[in-house]
Chains A and B, each alone.
Chain A
Amino acid sequence: MIEFRNVSKSYDDGTLAVSDLSLIAASHEITVLVGSSGCGKTTLLRMVNRLVTPTSGQVLIDDVDVADRNPVELRRSIGYVMQNSGLLPHRTTVDNIATVPVLQGTPAREARQRAVDLMETVGLDPSMARRYPWQLSGGQQQRVGVARGLAADPNILLMDEPFGAVDPIVRADLQRELLRIQGELGKTILFVTHDIAEAITLGDKIVIVATGGRIAQQGTPEEIMADPADDFVTSFLGLDEARALHVSGRLVVDPTGRPVGRLA
């Protein structure tokens, strides 16, 4: 369980990225932080592995304040998947995946063997093992990123817009894979995105973050869609008047008659 307890983050120039925010991300669930760019969601994510230190408040993992943990040890115990994969360009696929276990002292041979197994888990062909990141497609790079996040078998996985830079078809594919992997592994996942559709697809719980790092609403996708807390949430969900949908034949259309979907 990850708990944010009254955390704030302000920068020297006076910008307030997060203000007095409290939040609990339950174990073995996917909690999605969703909001527009610059709303402070990435800052929140980075507080968990101490890439960012809150100005005030605490972040606790299973009731232990992360501020009391050695940052390097802490980071090795938490999986981190970032946008544009953040793979090390001078390491091959297996070596990228094996990074954290090797840092923890696992013999390279053993770590590489496990990396190859993980490639299978994330749906990568073993023939990619010896390739460098630039020799992979965007979707493959993200799969490597996910495998790397899982390599040390962490309880917690932090995912910062991991599928933001790939095309919609690949993204949908990666989302399905993540749900399948999560079904098998049951990690505590904190997932940041600006895409509400992605939040609804993946989230056991969705936290809508408004500018200034304030929680606009949190709940299951059903709760939020059924009962948006305010106009901001309504418009963020695309539920405002301009998007009031109705059925026309087999098509779902918006008020101007443009099709937005089809009945099954």
Chain B
Amino acid sequence: MNWILNNVSTITDATWAHVWLALPAIVLSFVVAIPVAWFASRFRRSRFTLLLVAGLIYAIPSLPLFIVLPLILGTSVRSLVNVVAALGLYGVALMVRYAADALDAVSTDALLAATAMGYGPLRRFFGVQLPLAGPALLAGLRVVAVSTVSLVPVSALLGVNSLGMLLTDGFQRGILAEVASGIGATVVVAVAVDLGLVGLGRLLMPWERAAARRDARRTTVEDEQAVAA
């Protein structure tokens, strides 16, 4: 406990560094995955290949990727760009499948209605298909977000500051409290990001909140009926 109290600013700095690596990577994952998923969903024959490639990318071990990527990007190994790019790559690989499934699952009735009313293709995508895929996209993004937050510490092995530094440093110096605070703070960041995404979803998809209330109510009524019967 003493170690924690004496090193509050170290933990805070590492936490913020962690957040600033994770958030851009999460945003990058989403922004890149959407057009790829759109392509996979629009051109059915490309779907298998694209998802296969995404799956293979996700299978690359992370430490080698952190080291190889700079050769392609022309950055230094410790550059934040390198770390964000690597994290983003894993995020995209994970997100593409969720996003392709989410876009595919949008009701064809709604899409047909939109076309029949005179939506152009671009407007239909952003005005109808994307928002209606929203809940499923959010579900996928939450997984990507938590996965990204827990992948960030690997970059500490390269010497990039994040909560991972508390783990490597704590192990080397044998300070258990430092290791524990690194793990604890990572969990806190993951939960905070997740809650943030849920809040963002509520804000952007007001129709879903109403529908969720309906489903909850319906389930309750059905349960009561079942119990009564």
- In the bound assembly, the distance between CA atoms of A75 and B128 in angstroms comes to 17
Q: What is the interface size of chain A, counting residues whose CB is below 8 A from a CB of the partner? A: 24
Write the B112-136 contact mask toward A (1 if CB under 8 angstroms, else 0): 1111111110010000100110100
A residues near B120, Cβ cutoff 8 Å: 72
Stretch with Cβ within 8 A of B (4 or more), from A12-20, A78-86, A220-228, A241-249: A78-86
Binary CB contact string for chain A from 80 to 114 against chain B (1 if under 8 A, 0 otherwise): 10101011111100000001100100000000000
Once A88-B128, A132-B207, A134-B214 are accepted as A-B contacts, the answer to whether A72 and B118 lie under 8 Å apart by CB is yes
| Chain B proximity of A178: nearest CB distance (Å) | 19
B109 close to A103 (CB less than 8 A): no
Q: Which of A72, A84, A99 contacts B109 (CB 8 A)?
A: A84
Residues of A contacting B: mostly: mixed
Label chain B's interface by main secondary structure: helix
Rounded to whole angstroms, the CA-CA distance of A73 and B118 in the bound complex is: 7
Q: How many residues belonging to B are interface residues under a CB distance threshold of 8 Å?
A: 22
Q: Which of A76, A82, A103, A135 contacts B113, CB < 8 Å?
A: A82
Q: Are B211 and A87 in touch, CB under 8 angstroms?
A: no
Which residue of chain B has its CB nearest to the CB of A71?
B118
B110 at the interface (CB under 8 A from A): yes
Instruction: Flag if A132 contacts B110 (CB, 8 Å).
Output: no
Identity of the chain B residue whose Cβ is nearest the Cβ of A91 in the assembled complex: B207
Give the complex CA separation of A91 and B207 in angstroms.
7
Chain A CB within 8 A of B205 CB: yes
CB of A51 within 8 A of chain B? yes
Closest to A83 in B: B109
Q: Does A193 contact B (CB under 8 A)?
A: no
When distances are taken between beta carbons in the complex, the residues of chain B under 8 Å from A100 are 117-118
> Is the C-beta of A49 less than 8 angstroms from some C-beta in chain B?
yes
Q: A82-B109, A86-B109 are in contact. Are A134 and B117 (CB under 8 A)?
A: no
From residue B112, how far is it (CB to closest CB) to chain A in Å? Answer: 7
B131:A80 contact, CB within 8 angstroms: no
B76 CB–A CB distance under 8 Å: no
Q: B207 is contacted by which of A77, A90, A103 (Cβ under 8 Å)? A: A90
Q: Which residue of B lies closest to A87 (CB)?
A: B113
Interchain CB contact (< 8 A) of A82 among B116, B123, B132, B134 = B116
B107 close to A (CB within 8 Å): yes
B211 is contacted by which of A76, A91, A103, A134 (Cβ under 8 Å)?
A134
In the assembled complex, B227 has its CB within 8 A of some CB on chain A: no
CB-nearest residue of chain A relative to B211?
A: A134
Chain A residues, Cβ within 8 Å of B116: 49, 51, 75, 80, 82, 86
Q: Is the CB of B115 within 8 A of A75?
A: yes
Minimum C-beta distance from A187 to chain B (A): 16
Please give the distance in Å from B202's CB to the nearest CB on chain A: 14
* Contact of A99 with B117 in the complex, beta carbons under 8 Å: yes
Closest CB of chain B to A171's CB: distance in Å? 20
The 9 closest A-B pairs by CB, nearest first: A86-B113, A76-B118, A75-B118, A80-B116, A90-B207, A132-B207, A72-B120, A90-B131, A72-B118
19 A-B pairs with CB atoms under 8 Å apart are A51-B115, A51-B116, A72-B118, A72-B119, A72-B120, A74-B118, A75-B115, A76-B117, A77-B118, A80-B116, A82-B112, A82-B113, A89-B207, A90-B132, A90-B134, A90-B207, A91-B207, A132-B207, A148-B117
A residues in contact (CB < 8 Å) with B: 49, 51, 72-77, 80, 82, 84, 86-91, 99-100, 103, 132, 134-135, 148
**B residues whose Cβ falls under 8 Å from a Cβ of A:** 107, 109-110, 112-120, 123, 128, 131-132, 134, 205, 207, 210-211, 214
Not counting A51-B116, A82-B116, a sample of 11 additional A-B residue pairs whose C-beta atoms are within 8 angstroms of each other reads A72-B119, A75-B118, A82-B109, A82-B112, A82-B113, A86-B116, A88-B113, A90-B205, A91-B207, A132-B211, A135-B210
